[in-house]
């Protein structure tokens, strides 16, 4: 077989594999069902998915490139070693950095995948994972202008606090013997497979000089990119359907001043109805005007930012079920705690 035939055969093989992939088939089936049930919503949802993938493309490319470079160069163990110092220090730094980083709940998934793939311990990863989607500098300014400075400050503190809570919770569980292998097992490789840094492999920063390392770069980049791309497409499709069919107006009736369970209900409701950090600002301002309490609003905003259903779908495919359940529990629990403390503090808007 000629070299040209081999080159052409690889993409065709990948296309045949993708065509038989259950996630791809589920995505296509969902589009068919949506088109049959509501033809007018099909093209807006497709545009939403494409727009979401375009917006997240820089983060996706960064994550894929980092994962592939780490594997090909052998620098993966060096990345892991950076986060292998004092757990208190790494968790604290990860939580604080996450509270200032510009990643949404879906945008942070490729970064988390790359970090776990590089062997970074789960505790600081979870700290960054929980704090990052809640707030960033630009979002702080817009939240202060659209909702109130007090609410923006409380949301920033909640972001760092949720990161610290999650990081130290994971650390405690791991010291008890749990959560040793966070990544989900998969025959696909890439982000879906368990990864251990190869300590015997020397680091070669100019990996492209060696054919074997170039091949490893292509393999990891392809597997990681396809894995993230298909699950993020499913996530954005789910988000488009939810924003189209889940009304926000009824939320205030369940989470207003007259309900003793307003804060936990707001956290639970925030998961399917939350949009994104920027689009949610006028929604939260409107809900406050409709009677939502400040604590419930904070619980709604933080729970939706961390563990919204589109992000949860991608996380479900990325990590083991125990890590997924912990991620959801920490997101909801941290949001409820943040809302309760904010309410007890007078909920300054």
pLDDT tens track for 106-133: 667 777 877 887 778 899 999 988 998 8
**Bridge-partner residues for 292, per DSSP?**
256
**Hunting for tokens 């696909």 — which residue is that?**
188
Give the confidence band of 41 by pLDDT, cuts at 50, 70, 90: very high
Residue 281: per-residue pLDDT: 73
Contact (CB, 8 A) for 308 and 274: yes
Distance CA 4, CA 297 (A): 59
Helix ranges restricted to H, the chain: 3-19, 22-37, 39-73, 76-82, 87-100, 108-117, 122-131, 137-146, 149-175, 211-245, 251-254, 262-273, 280-289, 294-307, 309-318, 321-344
- Copy the structure tokens of residue 228: 């993230």
Q: What are 43-85's pLDDT values in tens digits?
A: 999 998 898 788 778 877 876 787 788 778 877 666 556 666 7
User: What average pLDDT does the segment 264-270 reach?
Assistant: 83
Contact (CB, 8 A) for 296 and 262: yes
Residue 244: per-residue pLDDT: 80
Q: What are 138-192's pLDDT values in tens digits?
A: 778 878 888 889 999 999 999 999 999 999 999 999 998 888 888 876 434 333 3
pTM: 0.67
279 three-class SS? coil
Contact (CB, 8 A) for 159 and 134: yes
Give the number of other CB atoms < 10 A from CB of residue 42: 16
Give the number of other CB atoms < 10 A from CB of residue 142: 15
User: Chain-centre distance of CA 183, in angstroms?
Assistant: 14
38 three-class SS? coil
**Bridge-partner residues for 176, per DSSP?**
none
**Cβ within 8 Å of residue 17, ≥6 positions away:** none
What percentage of the chain exceeds 90 in pLDDT? 22
- Copy the structure tokens of residue 140: 């702080």
- Copy the structure tokens of residue 29: 């089936």
Distance CA 310, CA 320 (A): 17
**Hunting for tokens 């988000």 — which residue is that?**
239
Give the confidence band of 267 by pLDDT, cuts at 50, 70, 90: confident
Lowest mean pLDDT among 7-11, 60-64, 234-238, 279-283: 7-11
Distance CA 69, CA 63 (A): 10
Residue 338: per-residue pLDDT: 94
Q: Which of 91-95, 168-172, 213-217, 280-284 has the highest mean pLDDT?
A: 168-172
Give the total residue count for the chain: 349
Distance CA 24, CA 252 (A): 37
**Cβ within 8 Å of residue 57, ≥6 positions away:** none
| Mean pLDDT of the residues in the chain | 78
Residue 198 has pLDDT above 60, yes or no: no
Residue bearing the bigger pLDDT, 226 or 313? 226
- Copy the structure tokens of residue 190: 């890439």
DSSP symbol at 248? S
DSSP symbol at 185? P
Residue 2 has pLDDT above 80, yes or no: no
Quick one: angle between helices 309-318 and 294-307, nearest 10?
Answer: 40
Lowest mean pLDDT among 31-40, 48-57, 254-263, 313-322: 254-263
Residue 195: per-residue pLDDT: 41
């Amino acid at each position: 077989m000629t070299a040209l035939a081999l080159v052409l055969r690889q993409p065709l093989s990948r296309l045949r594999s993708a065509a038989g992939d259950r996630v791809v088939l589920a995505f296509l089936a969902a589009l068919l069902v949506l088109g049959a049930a509501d033809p007018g919503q099909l093209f807006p949802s497709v545009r939403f998915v494409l727009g979401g993938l375009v917006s997240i493309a820089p983060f996706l490319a960064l994550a894929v490139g980092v994962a592939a470079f780490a594997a090909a160069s052998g620098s993966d163990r060096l990345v892991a070693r950076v986060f292998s110092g004092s757990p208190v220090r790494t968790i604290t730094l990860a939580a604080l950095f996450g509270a200032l980083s510009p990643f949404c709940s879906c945008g942070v998934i490729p970064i988390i995948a790359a970090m776990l793939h590089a062997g970074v311990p789960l505790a600081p990863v979870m700290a960054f994972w929980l704090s990052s989607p809640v707030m960033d500098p630009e979002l702080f300014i817009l939240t202060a202008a659209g909702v109130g400075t007090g609410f923006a400050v409380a949301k920033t503190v909640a972001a760092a606090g949720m990161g610290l809570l999650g990081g130290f919770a994971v650390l405690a569980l791991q010291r008890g013997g749990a959560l040793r292998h966070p990544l989900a097992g998969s025959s696909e490789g890439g982000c879906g497979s368990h990864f251990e840094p190869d300590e015997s492999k020397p680091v070669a920063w100019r990996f492209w000089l060696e054919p074997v390392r170039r091949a490893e770069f292509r393999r990891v980049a392809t597997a990681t990119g396809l894995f993230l791309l298909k699950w993020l497409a499913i996530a954005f499709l789910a988000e488009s359907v939810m924003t189209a069919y889940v009304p926000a107006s009824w939320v205030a009736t369940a989470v207003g001043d007259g309900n003793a369970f307003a804060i936990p209900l707001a956290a639970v409701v925030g998961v399917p109805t939350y949009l994104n950090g920027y689009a949610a600002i006028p929604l939260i301002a409107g809900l406050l005007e409709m009677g939502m309490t400040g604590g419930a609003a904070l619980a709604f905003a933080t729970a939706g930012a961390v563990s919204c259903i589109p992000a949860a779908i991608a996380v479900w495919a990325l990590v083991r079920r125990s890590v997924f359940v912990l991620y959801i529990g920490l997101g909801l629990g941290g949001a409820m705690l943040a809302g309760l403390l904010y309410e007890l503090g007078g909920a300054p808007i």
